[in-house]
């Protein structure tokens, strides 16, 4: 099969197209012909070496995958050839640890993140994923949009429903609102009954953010402190929940935007930098710092159902052939994407 293989960390030049053997399904695997694979900032930090934990090169990037099952392993009972499917962000969990047994397989100590560990990723024509990490896509849901549901919509659902417990009538701040996670966060926070304040450095995205449900949009220059505007919009109180998709670059303005008793949901981190802060800045105001990572299969199934009903929609900026992955990475790094770019490893036919 054709795939983009990363053999050492670096710039976009390390994305090299190669012919490698087709995957052979293990006992619990489904082999998927990849229809679409989203380009996440996680792919960038894996490729450039910022992310090191859990990475084993050479690797095939890409964890936002949809496609059609072409083969299944002998122990697979839930899928068959021809099924339309999407994956969560992992290709392996043990299925037996205390996390897997309680519906928290995102924390499984044996988990392998698809696209980080070896030649198992969506930047290729075929991929083998354990069936525990795959969900069936409803007929009414487009396969291209389905590819990004787990990482964008699912991660946010995990954050605001299971971890942050966002409640109707609360106010939520969404950082990095012009990206895939941010656009999903606006929709899900609004669906949860919250007032939504979106933060962006891209004036061109304001109308789209409002159309997705943002009540207020704060536009500012890179490096500028937007917390005073958040305070103004909330009558001096700040927000109940910060859905933080950016991390270190916006750490201080986000911290100053949170109300007494608020929850800070850490989801994204765009660089490898650390940030110093005084813990008293949080505990004296009873602010909880929480985190959410990845998506369970149940959460993916719930999100696909929300998409089927039309209550939430995946936002696709554009589709590109696999050979233009370097261009996609460049656009994502520059913040020039509204939503997600998806790659089409098997060509651009519908």
The CATH number linked to 115 is 3.90.180.10
pLDDT digits (tens, 9 = 90+) for 150-204: 999 999 999 999 999 999 999 999 999 988 899 999 999 999 999 999 999 999 9
DSSP SS3 for 258: strand
159 found inside a domain = no
The range of the structural domain enclosing residue 141 comes to 2-150+314-344
pLDDT digits (tens, 9 = 90+) for 98-143: 999 999 999 999 999 999 999 999 999 999 999 999 999 999 999 9
307 found inside a domain = no
**What's the confidence (pLDDT) of residue 275?**
86
Same-domain pairing of 127 and 256? no
Task: Identify the CA nearest to 5 among candidates 89, 128, 114, 123.
Answer: 123
305 found inside a domain = no
180 found inside a domain = yes
**What's the confidence (pLDDT) of residue 335?**
85
How buried is 138 (Cβ within 10 angstroms: 0-12 exposed, 13-18 middle, 19+ buried)? middle
Same-domain pairing of 145 and 6? yes
Same-domain pairing of 58 and 85? yes
Task: Identify the CA nearest to 86 among candidates 114, 118, 119, 117.
Answer: 114
Same-domain pairing of 176 and 94? no
Quote the CA–CA distance of 230 and 314 in Å, as a whole number: 27
Quote the CA–CA distance of 347 and 141 in Å, as a whole number: 20
Contact present, 175 and 156 (Cβ < 8 Å) = no
Quote the CA–CA distance of 288 and 255 in Å, as a whole number: 11
How buried is 20 (Cβ within 10 angstroms: 0-12 exposed, 13-18 middle, 19+ buried)? middle
* H helical segments located in the chain: 41-47, 143-146, 155-157, 180-191, 206-212, 227-233, 251-256, 280-283, 297-309, 325-333
Same-domain pairing of 133 and 193? no
Residues in the chain: 350
Quote the CA–CA distance of 201 and 220 in Å, as a whole number: 5
Same-domain pairing of 135 and 189? no
Contact present, 62 and 122 (Cβ < 8 Å) = yes
Same-domain pairing of 77 and 114? yes
Average per-residue pLDDT in the chain?
A: 95
Contact present, 271 and 249 (Cβ < 8 Å) = yes
pLDDT digits (tens, 9 = 90+) for 317-350: 999 999 999 999 999 999 888 889 999 999 887 6
Same-domain pairing of 146 and 243? no
42 found inside a domain = yes
Q: Provide the β-strand partners of residue 320.
A: 343
Same-domain pairing of 106 and 235? no
How buried is 41 (Cβ within 10 angstroms: 0-12 exposed, 13-18 middle, 19+ buried)? buried
Contact present, 215 and 221 (Cβ < 8 Å) = no
**What's the confidence (pLDDT) of residue 350?**
66
Contact present, 49 and 258 (Cβ < 8 Å) = no
- Ranges of beta strands (E only) in the chain are 2-5, 16-19, 29-39, 64-72, 84-87, 90-92, 112-113, 126-130, 134-136, 171-174, 195-200, 216-219, 239-244, 258-266, 288-291, 316-321, 340-344
177 found inside a domain = yes
297 found inside a domain = no
Side-chain-side CA neighbours of residue 49 (13 Å): 7
pLDDT digits (tens, 9 = 90+) for 276-298: 888 999 999 999 999 998 999 99
Same-domain pairing of 29 and 146? yes
- The structure tokens 């929709």 sit at 187
Same-domain pairing of 124 and 15? yes
Number of domains comprising the chain: 2
Same-domain pairing of 58 and 193? no
Quote the CA–CA distance of 161 and 169 in Å, as a whole number: 15
β 340-344/29-39 pair status: antiparallel
Quote the CA–CA distance of 288 and 143 in Å, as a whole number: 37
pLDDT digits (tens, 9 = 90+) for 35-81: 999 999 999 999 999 999 999 999 999 999 999 999 999 999 999 99
320 found inside a domain = yes
């Amino acid at each position: 099969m054709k795939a983009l293989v990363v053999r050492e960390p670096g710039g976009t030049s390390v994305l090299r197209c190669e012919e490698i053997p087709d995957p052979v399904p293990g006992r619990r695997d489904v082999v998927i012909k990849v229809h679409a694979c989203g380009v996440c900032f996680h792919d960038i930090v894996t490729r450039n070496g910022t992310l090191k934990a859990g990475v084993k090169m050479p690797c095939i990037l890409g964890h936002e995958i949809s496609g059609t099952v072409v083969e299944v392993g002998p122990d697979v009972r839930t899928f068959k050839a021809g099924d339309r499917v999407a994956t969560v962000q992992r290709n392996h969990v043990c299925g037996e640890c205390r996390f897997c047994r309680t519906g928290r397989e995102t924390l499984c100590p044996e988990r392998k993140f698809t696209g980080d560990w070896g030649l198992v990723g969506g930047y290729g024509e075929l991929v083998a994923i354990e069936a525990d990490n795959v969900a069936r896509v409803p007929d009414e849901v487009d396969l291209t949009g389905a590819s990004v549901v787990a990482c964008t919509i699912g991660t946010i659902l995990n954050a605001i429903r299971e971890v942050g417990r966002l409640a109707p009538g609360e106010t939520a701040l969404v950082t990095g609102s012009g990206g895939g996670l941010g656009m999903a966060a606006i929709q899900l926070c609004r669906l949860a009954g919250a007032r939504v304040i979106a933060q962006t450095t891209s004036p061109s995205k304001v109308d789209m953010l409002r159309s997705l449900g943002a009540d207020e949009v704060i536009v500012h220059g890179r490096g500028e402190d937007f917390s005073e505007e958040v305070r103004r919009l909330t009558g001096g109180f700040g927000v109940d929940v910060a859905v933080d998709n950016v991390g270190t670059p916006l750490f201080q303005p986000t911290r100053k935007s949170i109300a007494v008793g608020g929850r800070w949901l850490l989801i994204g981190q765009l660089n490898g930098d650390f940030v110093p802060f005084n813990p008293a800045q949080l505990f004296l105001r009873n602010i909880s710092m929480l985190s959410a990572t990845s998506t369970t299969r149940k959460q993916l199934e719930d999100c696909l159902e929300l998409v089927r009903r039309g209550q939430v929609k995946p936002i696709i900026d554009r589709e590109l052939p696999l050979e233009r992955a370097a261009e996609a990475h460049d656009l994502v790094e520059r913040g020039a994407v509204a939503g997600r770019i998806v790659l089409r490893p098997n060509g651009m036919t519908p």
